[in-house]
Chain A
């Protein structure tokens, strides 16, 4: 261990801002100044926020810098590392990173369970994970617990699925354990496609072993000996890191035959998606692993009864799995103490759009969207006013600034503000509600798998109606048509994709109705360009 450590945030987002280059530059300069025996330069995962530059932390001083250029790196090395003088011009307030806000309200202090190691350890060094109690939970489970004990702990903890649906994880595992079969599977849903969500990517990049450990624990608990991580084909860097982590886990004996000298064996491999949002739906994901197009299956039977190859299967989200080792080691009561009555624990939120501190933050369930935008997110850049926030992802709700005080948890959707996958997308007053609705619907139109008519045709129709409104060709009755379309899709779509479309559509029309009407009256909009009306053909019903 050397006297000082420089940790450079080298996640997918930071790499785009030159993180690899800056890390190498740090190493080069440390060598040039003859500091090799004094300073270690290491990589770590995301430090949480995204500004213009790359975030770097120096320990044991506990100082965070934002470097934007070669010169910045040179200053940090020659001033801080060589002369021991902190470079205040480049420093970032530790409070912004740790997000330890004023203690007036204990709810707003960031609590790290899922991200406990992200931005702290070098994710590619399994030793660093082990040094922070990694694989201890697996050891405890295999040596001292029966499968049923593990499931009971999860049930008691109240952990619910973090992918968006919020199904109790313990019960899912219990159903799978109770189904009689010689072959069972554990699947990790890392097909993160909800626009605005990148938490799973940063968890996998920053702490891949927490997911691997949890999947092995799940295997032991339900009697499964094989697992797959289904990850998006576009996540190139994450795939490489995950492959390396799996290989290391095999070498250290945490995967494979007779794990830790017990009778339990577990094999794990990666499957790549190929650009289909629908594959985040659990049965579509299963179809995809089987080498088919990712079209959802009819439910029931649910995966715990008949999943992959018709065998009992657990499908959990990355973030859900990352909670499991912590719960095993700290107990269900400690977990339940955090959060709200209906939703225990924390939630990782991604703050995106017109927001000053874009990035991710892990806070207790029950934190309000207001706090996420203004306290953690630091408000909007350029002094602009907030117009609306979309919570929960593109399949979530569009809300007005006066609706932000709802405590976000799995029940808050009933109050019109959904938690979904944890996206907080802030939009300033330059955004047009009609345009936003159209972009959201275009996404669903593109991603609808085409299996059922309500979703395939409904999304297409929604786009064309919104397009005509944005061009000044809408009628007031179009809004009723959109709402009735939402009802039809909700009631009759085959899977969660089509059933979720009504949520954004309905919320944006209800919360921003006046703005839609302004477009229909052709009052000026800063974004939309109205076309001159053309003569309609006689007999045409819908403006397609």
Chain B
């Protein structure tokens, strides 16, 4: 079954992180959740959270406390591509608010929303540490800087094409 295979993968991830990165008991929860989230589409489903809790010997409630505290994690299915847009002052004064408006208009969703086709989820984020090339957005693990409204449209079109091609 597909589900079992994925869970098997999660099991392998936890073992690998434990082996490579653990210096003390209980210090790898966040690193594990990052890797688990990469396996699924930008979220951690309940069965994976249960498995993490079981393997790391922490209560499931604690895993959920962590999952809901940090903005990079999600317990709900998000779009294939999570767009994080910087709304801090350094990006704001170099034209960031126009970029945010353009994203709202292009995607027809607000912050936290997912597009109807399930391709994009729009989130706001604090500074991404690329203020030398602001305004900046991040799509999954890719960054885009020196943005203009036209460039945003181009980038989204590129991702839509990627989404259709199933990459």
Contacts and interface: CB of A to CB of B under 8 A. Distances in A.
B30 A291 contact: yes
B94 to A, nearest CB: 6
Contacts of A201: 129
The residue among B65, B131, B136 with the most chain A CB atoms within 10 A of its own CB is B131
Interface stretch (B3-11, B66-74, B101-109, B159-167): B66-74
The residue among B71, B125, B133, B141 with the most chain A CB atoms within 10 A of its own CB is B133
The residue among B73, B134, B136 with the most chain A CB atoms within 10 A of its own CB is B134
A442 B31 CA distance: 29
Contact of B94 (A17, A354, A394): A354
Interface string B114-151: 00000000001111111111101010010111100000
Contacts of B72: 233-234, 274-275
Nearest to B96: A439
Given A13-B145, A294-B69, A352-B90, A275 B125 contact: yes
A13 B70 contact: no
Interface residues of A, number: 64
A443 B126 contact: yes
Interface residues of B, number: 48
A440 interface: yes
Contacts of A17: 133, 145-146
Contacts of B144: 16
A16 B146 contact: yes
Nearest to B69: A293
A428 B128 CA distance: 22
A353 B56 CA distance: 44
Nearest to B67: A274
B31 A271 contact: yes
A273 B133 contact: no
B47 interface: no
A16 B133 contact: yes
Contact of B87 (A193, A290, A293, A442): A442
Contact of A446 (B34, B124, B146): B124
Main SS at interface, chain A: mixed
Contacts of B33: 274
A488 interface: no
Given A289-B27, A425-B93, A446-B126, A358 B132 contact: yes
Contacts of A442: 87
A277 B71 CA distance: 10
Contacts of B29: 291
Contacts of A233: 30, 34, 70, 72
A13 B128 contact: no
A287 B12 CA distance: 26
Nearest to A16: B145
A228 interface: yes
A427 B93 contact: yes
Contacts of B56: 291
Interface in A234-288: 234-236, 267, 269-277, 288
A468 B84 CA distance: 27
A443 B141 CA distance: 22
Given A271-B27, A439-B87, A197 B127 contact: yes
Contacts of B93: 353-354, 425, 427-428, 431, 436
A188 to B, nearest CB: 14
Contact of A234 (B65, B73, B138): B138
Contacts of A368: none
Given A16-B146, A267-B23, A269-B23, A291 B130 contact: no
Contacts of A166: none
Contact of A443 (B28, B31, B58, B88): B88
Given A277-B126, A291-B58, A292-B66, A16 B143 contact: yes
A527 to B, nearest CB: 9
A216 to B, nearest CB: 15
A274 B126 contact: no
Interface string B69-89: 111110000000000100111
A418 interface: no
A198 B129 contact: yes
B28 to A, nearest CB: 7
Contact of A13 (B22, B28, B133): B133
Contacts of B145: 13, 16-17
Given A276-B70, A425-B93, A13 B132 contact: yes
Interface string A1-27: 000000000001101110000000000
Nearest to A194: B127
B158 interface: no
Given A234-B72, A354-B94, A291 B66 contact: yes
A272 B28 contact: no
A430 to B, nearest CB: 8
B89 A353 contact: yes
A478 interface: no
Interface of A: 12-13, 15-17, 49-50, 52, 192-198, 200-201, 226, 228, 232-236, 267, 269-277, 288-294, 309, 350, 352-354, 358-360, 390, 394, 423, 425, 427-428, 431, 436, 439-440, 442-443, 446-447, 449
Instruction: List the 9 closest pairs (A to B, CB-CB), nearest first.
Output: A291-B29, A195-B88, A50-B132, A274-B70, A293-B69, A275-B71, A275-B72, A195-B127, A16-B145
Interface of B: 21-24, 26-31, 33-34, 56, 58, 62, 65-66, 69-73, 84, 87-90, 92-94, 124-134, 136, 138, 141, 143-146
Given A195-B131, A234-B138, A276-B69, 16 more contacts: A12-B143, A192-B129, A195-B127, A197-B131, A198-B131, A200-B129, A228-B23, A275-B126, A289-B30, A293-B65, A293-B66, A294-B70, A352-B131, A353-B131, A359-B132, A439-B87
7 contacts: A12-B130, A13-B132, A195-B90, A269-B23, A275-B71, A293-B69, A352-B134
